[in-house]
C-alpha cells in the first residue's frame, strides 16, 4: 500500500474536506441501520426507514434491489454522498453476507478508511475477521463502532480484548458506555468531556449532551445513579491505565482503532462517530497505478471503475459504473480517455448517489464517487483520464468457489440468457464461462446465495426463468503464460477449457489432482486463482 505519508502534499480545500469510507461488518450487526442514521444526520433524509418497522416503512434507503427489500439484507454495495460539519462524506455501504464478499473486497480499493461495526453481544465474528484482513492488506485506517449496547451485551473490557487479540490492532476508547442492556443510560465522550444521554422514546432524536469538566464534575452525579456512576468511574480508571491514548498517526497507519459505543437503531453514538470521521478520518489518499501512483492533488482528472451495477432502474435497462475519482476536478461534459480502448468518452450525465436516488453531478473532486451511466463500455478495473495512459491497479477478481450450469427455461431464449449473463459478469456479480466444448454456460460464484440472487434478477429484470444445475467441475483457474505454451496446453485439455467474458482462457477442474497434473506437466503455464481487473 502507498505510504500514508506524514508529508502528504497540501490538498486544495475542496479535496481536503472529502472523507471517503466504507462500512464493514458481519451480517446483522446493524450496518445498514447505521448508514440510515448517517444519512439522517447528514440531512439527506428526513426520517430513517426503520429496519424493524412493518410493511413499507421497513424499506431501508440504501437497499434498492427487490431481493434486499424482501430479505432485509444487503447484497450489493451502494454509494451515498452527503455533507456533515463542513465535510463531504462519501459513504459506501457494503454487503455483510460472506456470499457477496467479492463486491466488498473491490469496494475497499475505492475508499480511504473503514468503519467496522461490531455487535455488542456477539463481538468479533468470522466475516468481520475476513473483511478486517482485507483492510489490513491495504493498511486502511479503521474506526470501530460497537452497536446494540441497549441490548444485553458483553462486558466492555471483554469486547475490547477480543478486538485486540483477534484482529491484532490496538484499541483506544473514544467513548465509554454507562450501563448495558436495560440499564444502558448513554456514554461518556472521552474526546470532548461530555455526557451523552440516550432517549429511548424517540429513535430519530439526537442524544442529549451535557458538558462536563472532567470526571470529578459533580454534574455527573445529577444524571447517573450512584451505583452505576461508581462502576463507571472504576472502569474508566482501569481503561486509562490499560489502553493506549489516541495517536492520530498510528490510526492513519492502521495500527490503532478508536472505538465508540452506541445503539444505531436509537440514533445513539452515531453523531459522535461521524464527528470522529470528520476530525480524524484521512483525506483522499494516493492511488496505486501503473506506471506511477496517482496523487489526489494532481490537477488532471483521473478515476477508476470499482463496481458496475446493471438495471438499477429496471425500466431503462441501464448500467451504471461506479467511479472513484483519484485526482483532479471533474466538470460535467468533460471528455475523458478510456485507457483500455484508447477512445475518448464524453461524460454528459454523471450522477451522485443518495442510495437509489440520483442527482446529476455538475462537478466532482478527487475522493468523490460518481456514477457514469453507459451501455457496456465501462468495466470493473477501467481507468478514465485526461489523456495520460495510466491504469489504476490492485482491483481483484477471485476464482469462484461454486460452479453450476445455467440453462434457460425456454431453449429458444438462449441468446437472451447469454446477454443477461454477460451483463452480470461485467457487473462482477458472477463469473460466466463459455466451455470450448458443448453448449450452455457455467456460472461461478463465491457463495450459494448468489445463485438465488442471479436467478431472481434474471427473471425480474429480463423476464427469463432459468435453472441452475450441478456441474461436473468444482473450481476454475485463469491460464497465463507464453502464447505457444498456452496454445499447446489448450489443445491437450480441450474438455476442461472455457473462456470468461473478457475472452481470457480458464481451466475448469474437477479435483485438486487436475491442478497438480498441470503444474507437473506444463511448467511454462501458470494457473491463477485471482485475476487483477486491470485492463
Do 260 and 175 form a contact (C-beta atoms < 8 A)?
yes
> How far from the centroid of its chain's Cα atoms is residue 159's Cα?
24
Find out whether 30 is annotated in a ligand binding site: yes
Q: Give the Cα separation of 475 and 463 in Å (integer).
A: 30
CA angle 22, 26, 32 (to 5 degrees): 55
**CA-based nearest residue to 128, from 144, 140, 112:** 144
- For residue 401, with 0-12 CB atoms within 10 Å meaning exposed, 13-18 middle and 19 or more buried, which class applies? middle
Distance, CA of 69 to CA of 89 (rounded, Å): 25
Helix and strand element counts for the chain (H, E) = 14, 33
How many angstroms separate the CA atoms of 143 and 141, rounded?
A: 7
Question: Is 96 annotated for ligand binding?
Answer: yes
User: Between 126-137 and 156-167, two packed helices, what is the crossing angle to 10 degrees?
Assistant: 50
CA distance 146 to 148: 7
Q: What is the grid cell recorded at 264?
A: 444505531
Pairing mode of beta strands 391-392, 343-346? unpaired
Is 147 annotated as ligand-binding?
yes
3-state secondary structure of 300: coil
Q: Is 144 annotated as a binding residue?
A: no
Is 93 known to sit in a ligand binding site? Answer: yes
**How far is 513 from 515, CA to CA, in rounded Å?**
5
26 is in an annotated binding site: yes
Q: Is residue 28 annotated as involved in ligand binding?
A: yes
83 is in an annotated binding site: no
The answer on whether 149 is annotated among ligand-binding residues is yes
Residue 31 labeled ligand binder:
yes
Q: Computed over its alpha carbons, how large is the radius of gyration of the chain? A: 25
The answer to whether residues 302 and 326 touch, using CB atoms and an 8 Å cutoff, is: yes
Contact call for residues 297 and 336 (beta carbons, < 8 A): no
Burial of 355 (0-12, 13-18, 19+ CB in 10 A): buried
The three-state (H, E, C) secondary structure of 215-268, written as one string? CCCCHHHHHCCHHHHHHHHHHHHHHHHHCCCCCHHHHHCCCEEEEEECEHHHCE
Determine whether the annotation assigns residue 254 to a binding site. no
The reply to whether 299 sits in an annotated binding site is: no
Answer left, alpha or beta for residue 104, where phi above 0 means left and psi between -120 and 50 means alpha: alpha
Instruction: Please report, in range form, the residues annotated as the binding site for GTP.
Output: 25-32, 93-97, 147-150
Instruction: Please report, in range form, the residues annotated as the binding site.
Output: 25-32, 93-97, 147-150
Amino acid at each position: 500500500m502507498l505510504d500514508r505519508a506524514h508529508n502528504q502534499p497540501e490538498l486544495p480545500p475542496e479535496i481536503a474536506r472529502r472523507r471517503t469510507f466504507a462500512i464493514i461488518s458481519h451480517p446483522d450487526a446493524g450496518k445498514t441501520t447505521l448508514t440510515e442514521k448517517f444519512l439522517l444526520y447528514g440531512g439527506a433524509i428526513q426520517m430513517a426507514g426503520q429496519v424493524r418497522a412493518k410493511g413499507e416503512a421497513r424499506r431501508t434507503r440504501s437497499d434498492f434491489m427487490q431481493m434486499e427489500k424482501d430479505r432485509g439484507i444487503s447484497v450489493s454495495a451502494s454509494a451515498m454522498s452527503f455533507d456533515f460539519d463542513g465535510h463531504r462524506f462519501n459513504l459506501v455501504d457494503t454487503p455483510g453476507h460472506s456470499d457477496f464478499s467479492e463486491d466488498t473486497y473491490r469496494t475497499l480499493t475505492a475508499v480511504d478508511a473503514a468503519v467496522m461495526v461490531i455487535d455488542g453481544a456477539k463481538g468479533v465474528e468470522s466475516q468481520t475477521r475476513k473483511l478486517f484482513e482485507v483492510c489490513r492488506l491495504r493498511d486502511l485506517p479503521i474506526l470501530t463502532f460497537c452497536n446494540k449496547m441497549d441490548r444485553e451485551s458483553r462486558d466492555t473490557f471483554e469486547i475490547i480484548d477480543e478486538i485486540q487479540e483477534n484482529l491484532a490492532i490496538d484499541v483506544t476508547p473514544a467513548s465509554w458506555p454507562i450501563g448495558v442492556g436495560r440499564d444502558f443510560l448513554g456514554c461518556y465522550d472521552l474526546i470532548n468531556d461530555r455526557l451523552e444521554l440516550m432517549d429511548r422514546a424517540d429513535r430519530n432524536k439526537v442524544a442529549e449532551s451535557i458538558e462536563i469538566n472532567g470526571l470529578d464534575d459533580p454534574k455527573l452525579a445529577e444524571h447517573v445513579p450512584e451505583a452505576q456512576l461508581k462502576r463507571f468511574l472504576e472502569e474508566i480508571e482501569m481503561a486509562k491505565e490499560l489502553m493506549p491514548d489516541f495517536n492520530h498517526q498510528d490510526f492513519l497507519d492502521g495500527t490503532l482503532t478508536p472505538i465508540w459505543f452506541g445503539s444505531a437503531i436509537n440514533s445513539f453514538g452515531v453523531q459522535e462517530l461521524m464527528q470522529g470521521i470528520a476530525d480524524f478520518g484521512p483525506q483522499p489518499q494516493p492511488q496505486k497505478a501503473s506506471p506511477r501512483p496517482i496523487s489526489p492533488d494532481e490537477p488532471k482528472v483521473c478515476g477508476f471503475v470499482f463496481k458496475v451495477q446493471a438495471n438499477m432502474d429496471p425500466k431503462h435497462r441501464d448500467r451504471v459504473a461506479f467511479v472513484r475519482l483519484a485526482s483532479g476536478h471533474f466538470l460535467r461534459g468533460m471528455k475523458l480517455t478510456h485507457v483500455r480502448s484508447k477512445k475518448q468518452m464524453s461524460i454528459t450525465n454523471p450522477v451522485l448517489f443518495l442510495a437509489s436516488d440520483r442527482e446529476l453531478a455538475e462537478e466532482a473532486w478527487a475522493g468523490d464517487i460518481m456514477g457514469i451511466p453507459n451501455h457496456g463500455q465501462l468495466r470493473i478495473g477501467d481507468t478514465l483520464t485526461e489523456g495520460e495512459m495510466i491504469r489504476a491497479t490492485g482491483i481483484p477478481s477471485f476464482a469462484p468457489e461454486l460452479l453450476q450450469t445455467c440453462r434457460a427455461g425456454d431453449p429458444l431464449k438462449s441468446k437472451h440468457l447469454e446477454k443477461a449473463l454477460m451483463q452480470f459478469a461485467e457487473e462482477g456479480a458472477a463469473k460466466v464461462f463459455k466451455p470450448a466444448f458443448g453448449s450452455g454456460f457455467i456460472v461461478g460464484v463465491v457463495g450459494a446465495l448468489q445463485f438465488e440472487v442471479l436467478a431472481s434478477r434474471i427473471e425480474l429484470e429480463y423476464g427469463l426463468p432459468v435453472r441452475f444445475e450441478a456441474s461436473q467441475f468444482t473450481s476454475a483457474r485463469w491460464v497465463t503464460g507464453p502464447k505457444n505454451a498456452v496454445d499447446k496446453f489448450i489443445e491437450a485439455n480441450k474438455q476442461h477449457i472455457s473462456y470468461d467474458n473478457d475472452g481470457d482462457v480458464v481451466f475448469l477442474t474437477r479435483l485438486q489432482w487436475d491442478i497438480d497434473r498441470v503444474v507437473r506437466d506444463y511448467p511454462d503455464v501458470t494457473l491463477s486463482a485471482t485475476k487483477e481487473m486491470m485492463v
